[in-house]
Structure 1
Amino acid sequence: MRHYTRIVVIAAALCWALLAHGQRNKPAAKFQVVETTIDDIHSAMRAGRLTARELVQAYFERIVAFDKQGPALNCIINLNPKALEDADRLDAAFKRSGLTGPLHGIPVLVKDEIDTAGMPTTLGTLVFKDYRPVRDAFAIDRLKKAGAIILGKTTLSEYAAGDTYGSMFGASRNPYDLERTVGGSSGGSGCALSANFSTVAIGEETLASIRRPGGWNGVAALRPTPGLVSRSGMWDGYPSPTAQMGPMARTVKDLAQLLDAMVGYDPEDPVTALGIGKAPANYTRLLDKNALKGARIGVLRESIGLFSEPASEDFKKVDAVFQKNIEELKAAGAVVVDPIVIPNLKALLAKRATHPTMADESLRSYLARNPSSTLKTREDIAKSPDLSKSIPPSKADQWRNPLTKTDMAAWGTHLDARQELTIAIAKVMADNRLDAIVHKTVEHQPTYIKDGINPPYVNNKGIPALNTFLVYAASMTIPSGFTSDNLPVGITFFGPAYSEPTLLKLAYAYEQAAHHRMPPKTTPALP
């Protein structure tokens, strides 16, 4: 914790020094970053009302004001000390020839399991507190080439598993209720984005780690089909097929613009070879506010959330919002098939398993990108004196005692179930001529932080088990309203592999019809 505090203090001091340096060029009318979009920013830049430096300054001011004081959301692990230097370079280029790319000057926050050269990748754990990658992740490099500015790194659950709490930083707080969790494991990205600490953000998902924080923090978030976005330079990447990197934004259009910059083939992640020819030339241009008119939407009502309690009042509060969402889809012109039934769904979902050696292969592949690191294998992590300080003994034992050959049988069952489920979903969509399936992003409201770090150790409650852990598919969440407790809820649009163009169009049309996104009151505009 001392190391983390030192990092933040140094970064904040550097940022404030640079802020003071930039005050001389401050415009008469301050650009308001709260709920601003990529298009808003670029329009202001073209009009001479905003520079990249001023934009970065504005976000740094909000982070300093709200992340460690005030509501103390605690969703930023580290800030990029070169962010303003990068902004100055882009401002100079803009004066010469205009916008340098589709994300020119756009500040991005990145989940701290994805490598950004010159900054630590801590995974939220003391074990990786000194881990400094020498190269950007492939997708981060693409973002930079599109003109984006890496603003900093966001909190995550330790080793990206579960709710957002870690030995490097403690617990992150939900901006809509400071006693509740932000979800996980991309909770820092969801929280920071909702609090307007950046324009867009990057997350990662294995089970529901992008969509759950999206739903619980009131933002849009996409888990792409495997093969669309490279995972090289990301913890738990290739050859594991389960974890995916994905865009997060406050609007569907911003999310599409971010995705446009991220997709592409990467030889270091061979799974991306499957994505060649599957992405359109431009996702953003496909967005259509009338896309729901005549679209056939299947409603999955069966509870698929882990540890869900359908009889509870908490579950019913989310369900009440979902029922309103179905009526909103109808009002927007959708043909709703309600309900749809996926045969044997829960039994198939219960057959999830982990490959006994693939996780280790992914780990070695990730660490091999940084030859100077002392961490190279699972054994190196298991031997770290910080391991027992960072996670409970039961989880530490998982590092010390890897899976055995007996687990291969479970993996075989998992593969059979994945194939059966993929076919079952395809048949349901074909029989009902569906364009997409919708379900609750999470079946419960955000849980309380105290219940996650103390008994009863609530974790992952209500998260949907229907995802690409079992099926190669696309899914995204967007804000769909608030419960009677004033907590945000999301609706998930789900479709077959590489159906992102359809899902984005439908989600955009729903967003434009319903307008459910509302910023949290805990992080208002600064004067």
Structure 2
Amino acid sequence: MPDESLALLSVEETVRRVRAREVSPMDVLEACMARVDRFNPELNAVVTLNPRAREEAEALASRIARGEDVGPLAGVTVGIKDVTEVAGVRTTYGSPLFADHVPEHDAWVVQRLRAAGAIILGKTNTPEFAAGGNTFNPVFGRTRNPWNPARSAGGSTGGGAAGLAAGMFGLAQGTDLGGSLRIPASFCGIVGLRPSVGLVPTLPQDYLWDTLQVTGVMGRGAGDVARGLQAVAGATDRAPLAQPMAERDFAAAVRDADARGLRVAYCRDIAGIGIDAGVERVCREGAFALAQAGAHVEEIDLDLSYGRPAFLALRGHWFVSQLYPHLDKLDGFGPNVANNVRAGLATRVQDLAAGEAARRRIWEQFRDFFSRYDLLLTPTMAVPPFVVEENYPATVDGKEMATYVDWLAPTFVLSLTGLPVASVPAGLDAEGMPVGLQIVAPPRGEERALAAASLVQRLRPIGLPSDRSTAHTDEGR
């Protein structure tokens, strides 16, 4: 029988044991596969397994036996979001139009994960073309939350978040347009980081000059995310948008995290949509817990509500640009994707200009903010995880939403900034569901966001879902 505790090790500990030959890559993979077999039938996090995963694990073991340098993620299993291409593995984008699509080449991020020694376990569930904050699609159905399978796992990287919380793999790759690495991280009690635009190449991509969607990773701990990000970040001459990587060490930032002297601001509702009282209480406690470790924490008002219409206009443009090669198939898309594309086609140039003007205003607002503070902390979501069969919550704090995506506004208004934003568990609500806290860092400040996330995790540990509480912990978790 596989030792399932291996599936719950931190990335750092997995790599240490694999490199030291205390365990083999096959041991780690079989432990993860055992958890897939046990939990995936209910959770529906993994939708397609990599048929060559065992072969790849054996090849890695052979390289270790020969004394080769096998990379900084040696033996770590990874779930790849089903909008990201993996050569020879079905990649559907959650769309019936691509239900049988098998790419010939790995996406750039997958190439980098493989080069770092990671094992691709399989593809994780997502809404069609990653459009939505609840993970379901007509190809694979709905993904459920490991903390309570009656609740949503969030989206659009919901399969990755649910799989991580259930111990099916050690890292999850995902994308984030309006919150897709942060929303499911909040709902499933893990760490997600939206990196700076251009830090991780998103290739292949039809919308090559995209400044809204980014590629990143999620993990059970901030240290896991740091090590995953280190492996996949960095410029390539194939991508026009890039961030410098020279002398950056994300794992060291987590290891050396220190709250003393940090100037932290907490805002309860940046998007002006209201917030569930139980969610806000947990986030407030998580933010002010940093004061116990030596930070100066102050509550402020920060109004970014004007970014809501701006994001909706730019989101419509994004959908048209991203799906431009497939516009002739518009009637074959699901209603969510089709309606977003149609909204984008109907958007006026004046609306796009207003959206860009709002982005400039937000950027200048944060330039002023970071002259006075080191970090902004704010709730990731305004609502707790809702019933999984609901496509989205009907109300926020008892009030009807202006649009069906308003409940995502706490994350998507921050997408407009291009800044690094993490979501870290701040605690559990009265029903025992995880609550995420966003950490907004200055430009190119991933180290600062991850360090703060690690501090919150140390001060406010929530563990994993109760029947999976055998997780090992270490410095990087």
Provide TM-score, normalisation by structure 1: 0.82
Residue type matched to 1:423 in 2? Answer: E
Alignment of 1:346 onto 2:287: no
Q: Is the contact between residue 172 and residue 181 of structure 1 (CA under 8 Å) also seen in structure 2?
A: yes
Q: Which residue of 2 aligns with 1:373?
A: none
Q: Which residue of 2 aligns with 1:478?
A: 424
Q: Which residue of 1 aligns with 2:465?
A: 520
Residue type matched to 2:437 in 1? Answer: I
Q: Which residue of 1 aligns with 2:475?
A: none
Q: Which residue of 1 aligns with 2:399?
A: none
Q: Which residue of 2 aligns with 1:334?
A: 295
Residue type matched to 1:242 in 2? Answer: L
Are residues 134 and 453 of structure 1, via their aligned partners in 2, closer, same or farther at CA, if it must alter by over 3 Å?
Answer: same
Q: Which residue of 2 aligns with 1:32?
A: 5
Q: Which residue of 1 aligns with 2:239?
A: 269
Q: Which residue of 1 aligns with 2:45?
A: 75
Q: Is the contact between residue 289 and residue 509 of structure 1 (CA under 8 Å) also seen in structure 2?
A: no
Alignment of 1:321 onto 2:282: yes
Q: Which residue of 2 aligns with 1:254?
A: 224
The 3-state SS of whatever aligns with 1:201 is strand
CA distance in 2: counterparts of 1:490 and 1:328, whole angstroms: 14
Choose which of 330, 333, 357 in structure 2 pairs with 1:382: 330
Alignment of 1:304 onto 2:264: no
Choose which of 449, 453, 456 in structure 2 pairs with 1:503: 449
Are residues 467 and 398 of structure 1, via their aligned partners in 2, closer, same or farther at CA, if it must alter by over 3 Å?
Answer: closer
Q: Is the contact between residue 182 and residue 411 of structure 2 (CA under 8 Å) also seen in structure 1?
A: no
CA distance in 2: counterparts of 1:74 and 1:300, whole angstroms: 35
Choose which of 458, 461, 464 in structure 1 pairs with 2:410: 464
How far off its partner does 1:309 sit? 4.3
Choose which of 126, 130, 134 in structure 1 pairs with 2:96: 126
CA RMSD of aligned residues (A): 2.6
CA distance in 2: counterparts of 1:146 and 1:34, whole angstroms: 18
Q: Is the contact between residue 225 and residue 472 of structure 1 (CA under 8 Å) also seen in structure 2?
A: yes
Q: Is the contact between residue 70 and residue 116 of structure 2 (CA under 8 Å) also seen in structure 1?
A: yes
Q: Is the contact between residue 180 and residue 446 of structure 1 (CA under 8 Å) also seen in structure 2?
A: yes
How far off its partner does 1:473 sit? 0.8
The 3-state SS of whatever aligns with 2:389 is helix
Choose which of 192, 200, 215 in structure 1 pairs with 2:186: 215
CA distance in 1: counterparts of 2:20 and 2:361, whole angstroms: 55
The percentage of aligned residue pairs carrying the same residue is 26
Q: Which residue of 2 aligns with 1:240?
A: 210
Are residues 448 and 309 of structure 1, via their aligned partners in 2, closer, same or farther at CA, if it must alter by over 3 Å?
Answer: farther
Choose which of 408, 428, 435 in structure 1 pairs with 2:349: 408
Choose which of 413, 421, 440 in structure 1 pairs with 2:362: 421
CA distance in 2: counterparts of 1:328 and 1:453, whole angstroms: 31
Unmatched 5+ residue regions in structure 2? Answer: 396-402, 472-477
The 3-state SS of whatever aligns with 2:56 is helix
Q: Is the contact between residue 237 and residue 243 of structure 1 (CA under 8 Å) also seen in structure 2?
A: no
The 3-state SS of whatever aligns with 1:180 is strand
Spell out, residue by residue over 1:43-81, the C-alpha distance to the aligned partner (whole angstroms, 9 max, x if none). 33345431101111111111011111xxx0011110000
Spell out, residue by residue over 1:294-348, the C-alpha distance to the aligned partner (whole angstroms, 9 max, x if none). 111111123527xx444xxxx0111111221133111011011222x33x52124
Q: Is the contact between residue 18 and residue 75 of structure 2 (CA under 8 Å) also seen in structure 1?
A: no
Choose which of 18, 22, 25 in structure 2 pairs with 1:49: 22
Choose which of 33, 42, 52 in structure 2 pairs with 1:60: 33
Residue type matched to 1:76 in 2? Answer: V
Alignment of 1:443 onto 2:382: yes
CA distance in 1: counterparts of 2:107 and 2:44, whole angstroms: 25
How many corresponding residue pairs? 462
Q: Is the contact between residue 279 and residue 498 of structure 1 (CA under 8 Å) also seen in structure 2?
A: no
Relative to structure 2, which stretch is displaced further, 92-101 or 171-180?
92-101
Q: Which residue of 1 aligns with 2:252?
A: 285
Spell out, residue by residue over 1:439-475, the C-alpha distance to the aligned partner (whole angstroms, 9 max, x if none). 0111210111222289899767355145453212110
Structure of higher CA gyration radius = 1
Provide TM-score, normalisation by structure 2: 0.90
Q: Is the contact between residue 212 and residue 463 of structure 1 (CA under 8 Å) also seen in structure 2?
A: no
Q: Is the contact between residue 4 and residue 35 of structure 2 (CA under 8 Å) also seen in structure 1?
A: no
CA distance in 1: counterparts of 2:266 and 2:394, whole angstroms: 35
Are residues 198 and 483 of structure 1, via their aligned partners in 2, closer, same or farther at CA, if it must alter by over 3 Å?
Answer: same
Are residues 239 and 359 of structure 1, via their aligned partners in 2, closer, same or farther at CA, if it must alter by over 3 Å?
Answer: farther
Q: Which residue of 2 aligns with 1:9?
A: none
CA distance in 1: counterparts of 2:440 and 2:341, whole angstroms: 34
CA distance in 1: counterparts of 2:104 and 2:281, whole angstroms: 49
